[in-house]
Amino acid sequence: MELDIAVDFEDYFPSMMESLGAEGFIGELCNGFRLLMDCERGLITFESLKKNSIMLGLHDMRDDEIICMLSEGDLDGDGALNQVEFCILMLRLSPGLMDNNGSTEWVEEYDVI
C-alpha cells in the first residue's frame, strides 16, 4: 500500500525578515533557539528537542527523526546544536530566503553562513 502524502509548507521567514529587518529576524531565531535549548547546557540536545517538541504540539516525532534533525545542523559533531548552528540550519531550510535575489547580503553582513 503506497501512501500519497503531500505536505503544504509556507515559508514565513522572508516576510519576517522584511518586517523585522535583519537584526530583529536574527533576534527571533535566537528566541526560538532558547525555547528549544537545554538551559543547563545552553544547547539544543536530543532530550531538550524531544521534550520541547511535545510542548509545541509535535507529539508524533520519532527518536530517529529528532536525531536526523540534530545531525542536519550539527556542524561540530557534538550531537547537539549551539545557537550559531541552529540559526544557520534555520536559514538553510528557508527556500524563500536563500532563493530571493540579494537575500544573502544580510546573511553575509551578519557573518551567519
Radius of gyration of the chain (CA): 15
Q: Give the per-residue pLDDT at 59.
A: 82
With a cut of 70, say whether residue 9 has pLDDT above it.
Answer: no
Q: What is the mean pLDDT of residues 1-6?
A: 55
Q: Is 65 exposed, middle or buried (0-12, 13-18, 19+ CB in 10 A)?
A: middle
Between CA 20 and CA 73 the distance in angstroms is 24
Output DSSP code: residue 29. Answer: H
pLDDT digits (tens, 9 = 90+) for 50-73: 999 888 888 888 999 999 999 999
Domains, the chain: 12-95 (1.10.238.10)
Contact status, residue 85 vs residue 76, Cβ threshold 8 Å: yes
113: confidence class by pLDDT, cuts 50, 70, 90: very low
Beta bridge partners of 44: 81
Contact status, residue 35 vs residue 52, Cβ threshold 8 Å: yes
pTM for the model stands at: 0.76
Q: Is 64 exposed, middle or buried (0-12, 13-18, 19+ CB in 10 A)?
A: exposed
